Amino acid sequence: ESNHASLIPEEGKKKVPGLQGRWDAQSHELLRDFEATLLHMFGLKKRPRPSRSPAAVPRYMLDLYRLQSGEGDESGGEIAFEYPERSASRANTVRGFHHEEHMERVHELGEGEATPLRFLFNLSSIPEDELLSSAELRLYRQQIAEAGGDDNKTGLHRINVYEVLKAPRPGQLITQLLDTRLVRHNASRWESFDVSPAVLRWTRERRPNHGLAVEVLHLDRTPRRRGEHVRVSRSLHQEPGEDWEQLRPLLVTFGHDGKGHPLTKRTKR
């Protein structure tokens, strides 16, 4: 007796002499219904057809899965963040969103003022019965090595993340500060910004939103290599080995649909 199951039921595989055509039609229908039942169980209306193969899966989502399922203990310390227990303890679903790149906008506010970049996220795939508990915007910052300089004295950046409250007008962007951080450009790492107040309201009200704006201020006014540290937009000339799909800003939502338990961290079975 085999203990390796196939999801294709045995009944669908039988062939009866003289009734080949009818069995093929029946088995096809059976498979289709079976697949529909399974997809419904997973909360999907139709079978996903990824547009790319292999699919571009953000490393953060993969690492979250490994940490939650206990496989992170075997990864040999490759995962460079702690499992977000607080967010995950209230969620059974985590979703990752990249911004709509074709709608990316730089808003020139005036001479001497920092230029924020606006990001729009399409959150329409979040079901109505899924209640979000938190959301974070993850930005990657790439180390800038100072030639002949003291890294501890230069390279201070202030990163501000805003919610855009109204449709932008030329020279005007109405925003509300959500989170801020002071960083130094002598390290490469991901930064997480709490954007829960904005994203939770967007999904609760289910109305179009005006997106998030990210502003990067160079505090020591170093003119060299501006705009290179915090990776908020695609480089004109991609560096060898760079994968923009893995470096681009990522909006992560934590929610619960009322079915099942939260994604608390598990030890490997």
Residues in contact with another protein by the rule CB under 8 A: 3-8, 35, 41-51, 53, 55, 57-58, 61-62, 64-66, 68-69, 92-97, 122, 124-125, 259-263, 269
- The CA distance from 31 to 16, in Å, is 17
Classify residue 88 as left (phi > 0), alpha (psi -120 to 50) or beta. Answer: alpha
Identity of the residue, 189 or 259, whose beta carbon is nearer to another protein in the bound complex: 259
- The CA distance from 248 to 245, in Å, is 6
Amino acid letter, 206:
R
Identity of the residue, 48 or 149, whose beta carbon is nearer to another protein in the bound complex: 48
Task: State the DSSP string of 34-90.
Answer: HHHHHHHHTT-SS----SSSS----HHHHHHHHHHHTGGGGTTS---S---HHHHTT
User: Least separation, in Å, of the C-beta of 244 and another protein?
Assistant: 16
Identity of the residue, 52 or 221, whose beta carbon is nearer to another protein in the bound complex: 52
User: Least separation, in Å, of the C-beta of 178 and another protein?
Assistant: 22
Identity of the residue, 168 or 262, whose beta carbon is nearer to another protein in the bound complex: 262
User: Least separation, in Å, of the C-beta of 138 and another protein?
Assistant: 13
User: Least separation, in Å, of the C-beta of 182 and another protein?
Assistant: 30
Identity of the residue, 45 or 169, whose beta carbon is nearer to another protein in the bound complex: 45
User: Least separation, in Å, of the C-beta of 36 and another protein?
Assistant: 12
Which residues lie closer than 8 Å to 251 by C-beta, 6 or more apart?
A: 96, 97, 98, 99, 119, 121, 135, 136, 137, 138, 195, 199, 212
Identity of the residue, 49 or 169, whose beta carbon is nearer to another protein in the bound complex: 49
- The CA distance from 247 to 232, in Å, is 9
User: Least separation, in Å, of the C-beta of 130 and another protein?
Assistant: 10
147: helix, coil or strand? Answer: coil
